[in-house]
Amino acid sequence: MFGLGMGELLVILVLALLFLGPKKLPDLASTLGKAIRQFRKATSELTDQLEVDESVKQPLRELKAALRDEPVPHVIATQQPAPPATTAAATPPATTPEPPKPPKPDKV
C-alpha cells in the first residue's frame, strides 16, 4: 500500500494517536473510510460512463467513415473487402504533362 511497510504504518498510527488523541482517531478513520468509498464509487461511475460513451461513439464513427468511403478505424481488417486484382492492360498508360511555354516578351 503506497510502498509503505509495516514499520512505517505503525509510526504513522502512533503519531496520529498522539496528535489527535484516542477519542478523535476513530472518527477520523471513519471519515477517511467514507471518503475513500465515495472516491471509488465516483471513479467506477466515471469509468462506466466512458465505456458507454465509447460504445455509442463507435457506430457514429463507422457511419461517418462509410459516408466518406474511408476505412473504419477499429474494424479495418474484419469488414473491408479485398481490392480487386488489376492487370497492366487494365490500367491506362501514364501521360506526361506538357512543359510550360516560356512567356512572350513585352513589346516596347
What's the pLDDT tens digit per position in 64-79? Answer: 888 887 665 654 444 4
**Between 52 and 15, where is the model more confident?**
15
For residue 13, give the nearest of 22, 99, 106 by alpha carbon.
22
What are the cell numbers at 36?
475513500
Strand positions, DSSP E, 1-108? none
> Is the whole model's pTM more than 0.85, yes or no?
no
Which whole number is the average pLDDT over 22-34? Answer: 89
The position carrying cell 460504445 is 55
